[in-house]
Amino acid sequence: MTSLFLRDLKLAMRAGGGALIGVLFFMTVVAVVPFAVGPDLNLLSRIGPAILWIGALLASLLGLDRLFQAEREDGSLDLMLMQETPLVLTVLMKCLAHWTATGLPLVIAAPLLGLFMNMNEVAIGATMLTLLAGTPAITLIGAAGAAVAVTLPRGGLLVSILVLPLTIPVLIFGVSAAYAAVEDPAPFLPPFLILIAITLFFAVIGPLSAALALRAASD
């Protein structure tokens, strides 16, 4: 199983891989927001966590459509379906590799963008922590969408449309936990724990439904 993880990581790093593109997209999306809302630093620091979350959400959806489609195009998916290894485990491993290659860089880039948004240290730390806990959920539930759209010739956009509504809870609790850390009366822990619970829940239903969809889509 680690060999699958390492292979997917290598593929993401090699030429044409998506590891760099996701972060770049994240930076660009966050960077254009001030042009729309104006350079008022107080306003930016107030909306900063939300902007970072939306940017990270869009960026993590970016490479998802290729998660299984690339495997299907070159026939690797057939072989993965045939193995003794449960397909759920294979999907989970692919999700983990995908998150490490595209989600983790977002978490690491978040503090830098937090500075651009004039967020203070606590807000940056809280946003980073919520991103770390929340972005795996996006990848995991996105895998289900990617598996459903795997046979479609132009599944890329469809995956985003299918997955975005499913990620709303992640966004809600991620952003509210990040805000709770900065604004005093609201407690940080409850929304953050719910966020972790959502990630764990998606870690089960995401790969499970993706495996079912891949079996059904095989032809």
Least CB distance from residue 173 to another protein, whole Å?
28
Which of residues 12 and 129 has its CB atom nearest to another protein in the complex? 12
Least CB distance from residue 199 to another protein, whole Å?
26
Q: How far is CA 217 from CA 15, 64, 78, in A?
A: 29, 17, 11
Which of residues 31 and 132 has its CB atom nearest to another protein in the complex? 31
Which of residues 28 and 189 has its CB atom nearest to another protein in the complex? 28
Which of residues 103 and 174 has its CB atom nearest to another protein in the complex? 103
Q: How far apart are alpha carbons 143 and 135 in whole angstroms?
A: 13
Q: How far apart are alpha carbons 31 and 26 in whole angstroms?
A: 8
Least CB distance from residue 11 to another protein, whole Å?
6
For 5-25, b/e burial (b = at least 16 CB within 10 A) is eeebbebbeeeebbbeebbeb
Which of residues 195 and 210 has its CB atom nearest to another protein in the complex? 210
Least CB distance from residue 190 to another protein, whole Å?
31
* Residues that bind another protein in the complex, under the rule CB under 8 A: 1, 3-4, 6-7, 10-11, 14-17, 20-21, 24, 27-28, 31, 34-35, 38-41, 44, 73-76, 78-85, 115-116, 118, 218-219
Least CB distance from residue 10 to another protein, whole Å?
6
Lookup result for tokens 């999306």 = 29
Max alpha carbon distance in the chain (Å)?
A: 58
